[in-house]
Amino acid sequence: MTAQKTILRALAGETLPTPPIWMMRQAGRYLPEYRATRAQAGDFLSLCYNPELAAEVTLQPIRRYGFDASILFADILLVPQALGADLWFVTGEGPRLSTITTQEEFDKLLPPDAIHDHLSPVYKTVEILSRELPAETTLIGFAGAPWTVATYMIAGRGTPDQGPAHALKAENRAVFDALMDRITEATIHYMSAQIDAGAEVVKIFDSWAGSLTGDDFTDYSIKPMARITQALKEKHPGVPVIAFPRGAGKRYIGAHAAIGADCIAVDDGVDAAWVAENVQSGGCVQGNLKSSHMVTGGEALVSETRRIVDALGSGPHIFNLGHGITPDADPENVQLMIDTVRNG
């Protein structure tokens, strides 16, 4: 069955008459069944570390919509926690972490290969999913890219401009580089273990890549993702890698080759026709409907979905949003999007 999975065919470079489809954050707060399961778990982190419940919320959108891929339910900040950072979530505000801004704080972190036991519930979730997903559904594992993870570890929270990370990079490059290296090595361990547990594809999310300028974009977004991709491909030949340097703009050009990824996911800040002309020649692309269409729906959703499918239809394409679906999305609009992709 694996050879017939549409996601894997697209990732191998095949142009399909109907693009396969999945959706970032497809297991999430917009679904009433997710909210019920999260309430059962007690809190977000308890849900992430409960393999049975994490598998359940991962399966929910597959049961409801029949997406072509399922992405592991977890969080990019589990890696910092496994490295020894304190992590907690504030209701309505998001994650909080103990900060890493000095050599002394960095020295308290665990070595990369010490994260395995802490993250073993995540690997158990992958094992459950590899058994329970429909035979035609591809299982995607994921992790945050080092730059994006570092921005949270340095600031202790999400920030609008990743200012604290940029400041540390400018003021104490030695600590910054050491932290990036530690995250990179830990991410290789983490994603490799996901593949060992049954992930068929992995995706690297660099959600804040767009805030890097000049050589920093290459040095701290592209090169760490390339290092992770190369290591994974050496350990797991044939397992495709999707890379998402969100906000890259024109710098999406050449990203396939620079990272070594089988697919480049693009955000909704670039036009699909431009992507077809400038990025898709490098390989499979994924994207890039605006998430807001999942809230507003209607004819605008249908027409924009059709436009993206048509624009990217001459090469390998996985249909997705340009970023994750938001909690205020209407589940009916998700179905409308899927029907439009599959039925024209």
Identify the band that residue 4 occupies on the pLDDT scale cut at 50, 70 and 90: confident
DSSP 151-208: HHHHHSS--SS-HHHHHHHHH-HHHHHHHHHHHHHHHHHHHHHHHHHT-SEEEEEETT
- pLDDT of 117 above 60: yes
| Contact criterion met (CB below 8 Å) for 78 and 32 | no
Question: Which is catalytic among the residues 35, 38, 96, 342?
Answer: 38
Q: How far is CA 177 from its chain centroid?
A: 23
- pLDDT of 197 above 60: yes
Is 342 marked active-site?
no
Question: Which is catalytic among the residues 25, 182, 227, 251?
Answer: 25
Query: Torsions phi, psi of 175, nearest 5?
Result: -65, -40
pLDDT in tens, 202-247: 999 999 999 999 999 999 999 999 999 999 999 999 999 999 999 9
pLDDT in tens, 46-75: 999 999 999 999 999 999 999 999 999 999
Mean pLDDT in residue range 6-10: 98
Position 121: which residue type? P
pLDDT computed for residue 1 by the predictor: 43
Question: Which is catalytic among the residues 30, 65, 68, 75?
Answer: 75
How far lies 64's CA from each of 49, 54, 212, in Å?
24, 16, 38
Is 30 marked active-site?
no
- pLDDT of 99 above 90: yes
| Contact criterion met (CB below 8 Å) for 197 and 189 | no
Nearest residue to 14 (alpha-carbon basis) of 311, 314, 305, 256 = 314
CA distance 27 to 57: 6
pLDDT computed for residue 3 by the predictor: 54
pLDDT in tens, 24-52: 999 999 999 999 999 999 999 999 999 99
- Going from the N-terminus, what domains does the chain have, and what CATH number goes with each? 2-343 (3.20.20.210)
pLDDT computed for residue 339 by the predictor: 98
pLDDT in tens, 76-87: 999 999 999 999
First-residue to last-residue Cα distance in the chain: 26
Q: Please report how the helices 223-235 and 173-197 are oriented relative to each other, as an axis angle in degrees rounded to 10.
A: 30
Query: Torsions phi, psi of 140, nearest 5?
Result: -105, 125
Could you check whether the bond before residue 288 is cis, i.e. omega within 30 degrees of 0?
yes
Mean pLDDT in residue range 312-326: 98
Is 152 marked active-site?
yes
CB contact burial 40-66 (16+ within 10 A = b; e otherwise): ebeeebebbbbbebbbbbbbbbbeebe
Report residue 263 as tokens. 């697919």
pLDDT computed for residue 92 by the predictor: 82
Mean pLDDT in residue range 336-343: 98
Question: Which is catalytic among the residues 34, 49, 65, 152?
Answer: 152
- pLDDT of 2 above 70: no
CA distance 264 to 254: 10
pLDDT computed for residue 190 by the predictor: 98
Is 38 marked active-site?
yes
pLDDT in tens, 143-164: 999 999 999 999 999 999 999 9
Neighbours of 274 (CB within 10 A): 16
Is 307 marked active-site?
no
CA distance 37 to 285: 33
State the chain's mean pLDDT as an integer: 97
Mean pLDDT in residue range 83-110: 95
